[in-house]
Structure 1
Amino acid sequence: VEAENQTKFSEFLLLGLSEDPELQPLFFALFLSMHLVAVLGNLLIILAVTSDPHLHTPMYFFLSNLSFVDICFVTTTVPKMLVNIQTQNKDISYIGCLIQVYFFMIFAGLDNFLLTMMAYDRFVAICRPLHYTVIMSPRFCVLLVLVSWVIFFWVSLLHIVLITQLNFCTDTEIPHFFCELTQIIKVACSDTHINYVFLYVLTAPLGVFPLSGILLSYSQIVSSLMKMSSAGGKYKAFSTCGSHLSVVSLFYGTGLGVFLSSAVTHSSQRSSIASVMYTVVTPMLNPFIYSLRNKDVKGALGRLLCRAAFCP
């Protein structure tokens, strides 16, 4: 009992994706490459948006914030995994685990909210074009982002406070490659009823409402496009949504895949492998989606790289 109560001195064991020693070099090279691509790709998007005056609009303001959050998102989980693989050590301190849970929740939630803001921006641009500059003012856009940070700062902090009330046995194993909230609650040695109540009553709506907002925005967009008589106008209006729709599909599709994987297979290892998609792969692919499907971003990146290479 005394050992269980000494949570502040305890350590968790992150089991990772596989315990096969022959796979560890492959995992290290793969995740190091994905992390570098995600960081560099999103950093290029931020530099392109900030350096090009043509991209100083609400849509690209939200995109640059999404890229910043994605950099933080992958950096919260992958470096610790790489260190554990390199040192052949599965330990993560109790404090380190709480910090990882805290920031992971913040950046996952911000990803969700930013995608909703971008959907709302497209809704206003297509369905309320005459009022766009008034509604999507710089002050309003900054306020949306700041409110999102405040919401997830406090929600994540409350989760951490509740976790600190739990007791954990020594050498507790977490069947994941990072400290994920539900996994931490599952391995606790004390009653977790309050943690689950708080998780489903408050945190779940923070995921459901943004998705509902995205679906509502695009239903209104589709309705407005159907009323347009010009086929060219329809294509031009909807083409501005293509990149965002691709990112939304990737983010929610992989998240749903993780949920279904854990619900159907009940395999912690398969669930952790599936979670790689939305924690690492999605932030890595977002810059490619926006740079390949968006002419403005592609042009800005070209000009940025040209300046860096001192093109004439």
Structure 2
Amino acid sequence: MTLATRFAPSPTGPLHLGHAYSALLAYGLAQAANGRFLLRIEDIDLSRARPEWEAQIYSDLAWLGIEWELPVMRQSKRQPAYDAALDKLWQRGVLYPCYCSRADIAAATAAPQEGAPMLGPDGLIYPGTCRTDHPPTTVRPRDLPLRLNMAWACAQLDWPLGFTEEGSGTAQYVPITADEMQRGVGDIVLARRDMGTSYHLSVVLDDAAQHITHVVRGRDLLEATAIHVVVQALLDLPTPVYHHHRLIRDETGKRLAKRDNARAIALMRSEGHSVKDIQSIIGL
């Protein structure tokens, strides 16, 4: 199979040095293997996505010397695929609607009898307030958040699961257990009220649709990879090889974010920095 990597930014702000590092790593991996490099615009959050930021993504990547296949996949056009996957999971009985707000979850996990709140890849681990003792028998609701019943999902899978992690020329297999998914991750959201999907669902389906063989992304998403492996198994999708690279940080050690405009690629371009300058700064 031809090696295929991707870069999947959200058009919600300017690309910064961390994005440049991730995109250049993925592109370099594809180039070295005479493989494919794809671009995906993750614009499921239509309340924050802006066409001007999407245009800036194309401009910055091209300036960095990165080329990608056309057409570009855009998540906002992929809702039918997300709906089909949610229908499949609903029919398997592993989804349930959730009526809790973030404040409700924070209050429930802060109750004295619950002990110290536990954090997972998505923040506070859901306390199971809306979880039922039996699978829903109604038609899947389209206007409510849907959570994955992790215990029931794990019960339907063949264990152990895991993924291959590559980095610095080495590869290792990372095992995942049902116990850590239930205790350390919990019932994550797979469909949000305002999006009709979630990052965890869409990224899995989109990587499969684009035949991505190697996912290059930051170490801040390492814990989320276990979630993606479980969703891949539930939907009978292949699991790519993963490369979770180091994060680019500022002088204080804080990882860069889109609000950190001082490290925006477009701003550095306007100040006269060259591509070689960028590569030197990020350690390539």
Could you say which TM-score interval applies, normalised by the shorter chain? Answer: under 0.3
Larger CA Rg, structure 1 vs 2: 1
Taking structure 2 as the reference length, what is the TM-score of the superposition? 0.24
- Tell which has more relative contact order, 1 or 2 (C-alpha 8 A, sep 6+): 1
The answer to which structure has the higher helix fraction is 1
The answer to which structure has the higher strand fraction is 2
